[in-house]
Amino acid sequence: MEIKVLKNILDANNQIAARNRARLDAQRVTALNIMASPGAGKTTLVVRTVQGLKEKCRIGVIEGDIASTIDADRVAREGIPVVQINTGGECHIDANMMSTALESMDLDKIDLLLLENVGNLVCPAEFDTGSHRKVMLLSVPEGDDKPYKYPLMFTIADAIIINKIDTLPLFDFNMANFEKAVRGMNPAARLFPMSLKTGEGLTEWLAWVEAQARRS
Amino acid sequence: MEIKVLKNILDANNQIAARNRARLDAQRVTALNIMASPGAGKTTLVVRTVQGLKEKCRIGVIEGDIASTIDADRVAREGIPVVQINTGGECHIDANMMSTALESMDLDKIDLLLLENVGNLVCPAEFDTGSHRKVMLLSVPEGDDKPYKYPLMFTIADAIIINKIDTLPLFDFNMANFEKAVRGMNPAARLFPMSLKTGEGLTEWLAWVEAQARRS
């Protein structure tokens, strides 16, 4: 019974997600769905990406949080359009929330849309929002065994950022073991070792995002 | 419609949780539900707690993960009974999974039961497992703003551990701001600043756990 309910919800979600994607395609907007645990660096990634690319393409941001506008306030300081979704307890952004957020954006004036999902390594992986690319961050302090424990997220990601590599000397994080684990479940994903604090690895990431934005 | 389904699921969960708690009470077992983001230090906390208290009380562990037995293998090396729950995608341990795990444990031979929940700062907070105390860990690299973004978890916790305080010089984590945020939503929670790496703060934690275990 419960499984059936879940299946119906996911089917409905996929239909709305497909409509969102068609709408973004019609407006030539590329959307990235950015997912990670709490505190991995999602908002900093959004801010650095906006700073790095806002002269090259027109960017909009959707901030998803259970509560608060802390992240939206921070991103809005970059002078770009930002919409905040407060999920009111829900652990992920679904396609319906995304659809509502799209209503509030002037898509004519955007080339690249960054969606920052709720901080959660589990549920957001299950819900298509209508984005074109799924991006996930893992930060070094979280540990190199996470692909084995949260396999769906690592399987569905088009790009995987390993953030906070400036702290590698402090933590028992074996990059070779991590890459081996990821490659076993997702050979095609692009990997970006990065420190959003020092800027290391940011150039490669910005080039990848720009290439996605020019896709349409 | 969806809200009604969710309410029914939560009602059913609460009934099973109450049965689990009654069963644990009858056997004089105290159960702690340990919750945190991925990589905050849950398994290390379990291992250190077992090492610190296993001469004083008989401990059992339930390890909850979406997939893998990495954590259960690690805890089993301490020579105590361990049951692994693989949720197969579910983002939290519910009371029914807890009930099944309790079937596999010889509760006659246990005083203290440690449940390590799935790594997730959202969903586990919504599901009572039948534990007596809810414990959450936040690690310094995750940031001091997390109570505002994940308020339910910080509101329901009886004890809040701030782990990895040895890394405070590296991260922008303001302990006074964090405590203020927590106190605003949960004045009664015990706070334990801790480094499971250096052992700082562990003595206070072990004393608290021992006091809970002698409650019955």
pLDDT at A202 over 90: yes
Instruction: Provide the token pair at B194.
Output: 């801790």
A122 to B5: CB separation less than 8 angstroms, yes or no? no
How many CB atoms sit inside 10 A of residue B174's CB?
A: 14
pLDDT digits (tens, 9 = 90+) for B113-130: 999 999 999 999 999 999
3-state secondary structure A175-200: HHHHHHHHHHHCCCCEEEECCCCCCC
CB pairs under 8 A between A and B: 110
Instruction: Provide the token pair at B205.
Output: 């934690």
CA B122, CA B126: separation in Å to the nearest integer?
Answer: 8
Q: Kindly report the backbone phi and psi dihedral angles of residue B86, in degrees, each rounded to the nearest multiple of 5, phi listed first.
A: -100, 115
Among candidates A38, A149, A170 on the partner chain, residue whose Cβ is nearest the Cβ of B150 = A38
What confidence score (pLDDT) does residue B213 get?
87
pLDDT at A3 over 70: no
Residues of chain B that touch chain A, judged by Cβ-Cβ distance less than 8 Å: 2, 5, 9, 37-39, 65-68, 70-71, 89, 91, 118-123, 126, 139, 141-143, 145-146, 148-152, 164, 167, 170
A67 to B37: CB separation less than 8 angstroms, yes or no? no
Domains and CATH numbers, chain A: 2-213 (3.40.50.300)
Strand partners, A159: A135, A190
pLDDT at A163 over 60: yes
Strand partners, B133: B32
CA dihedral A178, A126, B35, B216 (to 10 degrees): -130
CB-based contact A186:A159 (threshold 8 Å): no
pLDDT at A23 over 50: yes
Chain B: nearest CA to A128, how far in angstroms?
16
A112-116 and A30-36 beta bridge pairing: parallel
CA B96, CA B78: separation in Å to the nearest integer?
Answer: 27
CA dihedral B164, B168, B169, B171 (to 10 degrees): 100
Instruction: Provide the token pair at A17.
Output: 């997600």
Q: Of A151, A136, A171, which Cα lies nearest the Cα of B70?
A: A151
Residues in A touching B152 (Cβ below 8 Å): 66, 89
A89 to B152: CB separation less than 8 angstroms, yes or no? yes
Q: Of B206, B215, B208, which Cα lies nearest the Cα of B49?
A: B206
For an interface test with B, the pick among A149, A172, A178 (most B C-beta atoms closer than 10 Å) comes out as: A149
CB-based contact B11:B4 (threshold 8 Å): no
Give B32-64 as a DSSP string.
EEEEESTTSSHHHHHHHHHHHHTTTS-EEEEEE
A122 to B170: CB separation less than 8 angstroms, yes or no? no
CB-based contact A20:A102 (threshold 8 Å): yes
Residues shown for chain B: 216
For an interface test with B, the pick among A44, A91, A156, A178 (most B C-beta atoms closer than 10 Å) comes out as: A91
Residues in A touching B71 (Cβ below 8 Å): 149
pLDDT digits (tens, 9 = 90+) for B58-103: 999 999 999 999 999 999 999 999 999 999 889 999 999 999 999 9
pLDDT at A2 over 50: no
Chain B: nearest CA to A19, how far in angstroms?
21
pLDDT averaged over consecutive 10-residue blocks of chain B (216 residues)?
A: 60 94 96 97 98 96 94 95 93 96 95 97 96 98 96 97 97 97 97 98 97 72
What confidence score (pLDDT) does residue A1 get?
38
ipTM of the complex: 0.86
Give the chain B residue nearest A125 (alpha carbons). Answer: B89
CA dihedral A140, A134, A153, B45 (to 10 degrees): 30
B38 to A121: CB separation less than 8 angstroms, yes or no? yes
B141 to A143: CB separation less than 8 angstroms, yes or no? no
Q: How confident is the model at residue A5 (pLDDT cuts 50, 70, 90)?
A: low
A70 to B142: CB separation less than 8 angstroms, yes or no? no
CB-based contact A87:A93 (threshold 8 Å): yes
The dihedral through the CA atoms of A194, A199, A204, A207 has a sign that is positive
For an interface test with B, the pick among A7, A43, A85, A120 (most B C-beta atoms closer than 10 Å) comes out as: A120
B151 to A5: CB separation less than 8 angstroms, yes or no? no
Instruction: Provide the token pair at A145.
Output: 């065994």
Q: Of A205, A123, A126, A139, which Cα lies nearest the Cα of A178?
A: A139
Chain A: nearest CA to B165, how far in angstroms?
12
Residues in B touching A149 (Cβ below 8 Å): 38, 65-68, 70-71, 119
What confidence score (pLDDT) does residue A25 get?
95
